[in-house]
Amino acid sequence: MSEAPPPVGRRYLWLLVPALAWGGVIAGLLLPTPPFPLPPGNLGCVLGSVAIAALALTRERKDLVSLCIPIFAFMIFIAPLETPPGLAIQVLYAISLTAVAVRLERKFPPGPAAGSVA
């Protein structure tokens, strides 16, 4: 028997990762003085990293790259550095996060929905 495709909402859940990362970068451009301690671009990249790790945990086959991304986000955006990450680092990180999200979707497709009987 063939497996049923995942529900439509779950099939496009990976798009949340680039939306968070790029949304943070765009919000960082629009809000010159953020109302919270972490700049919006950094916050978007960190949230996108956590989202891709959570998404990788839902797959039948686990992707080690996607699971380790929040560690890199912490080291780049949260841990104190001599020079804080600027727009260039945020854009490059959002590009790489988008590429890893596409990789996760292509090479590690979602399995059957939780609770479904195959």
pLDDT tens for 23-82 read: 999 998 998 777 778 888 999 999 999 999 999 998 888 899 999 999 999 999 999 888
More confident residue, 85 or 32: 85
Q: Which residue has the higher pLDDT, 38 or 100?
A: 100
Report yes or no on 21 lying in a domain: yes
Domain with 21, as residue range(s), is: 9-107
Q: Is residue 57 part of a domain?
A: yes
For residue 115, is it within any domain? no
| 3 within domain boundaries | no
Residue 31 lies in a domain: yes
Banded model confidence at residue 3, pLDDT cuts 50, 70, 90: low
Does a structural domain hold residue 113? no
4 domain residue, yes or no: no
Question: What global pTM score does this model have?
Answer: 0.82
Using alpha carbons, select from 109, 94, 106 the residue that is nearest to residue 48: 94
Residues 67, 103, 101, 111, CA torsion sign: negative
- Domains: count for the chain: 1
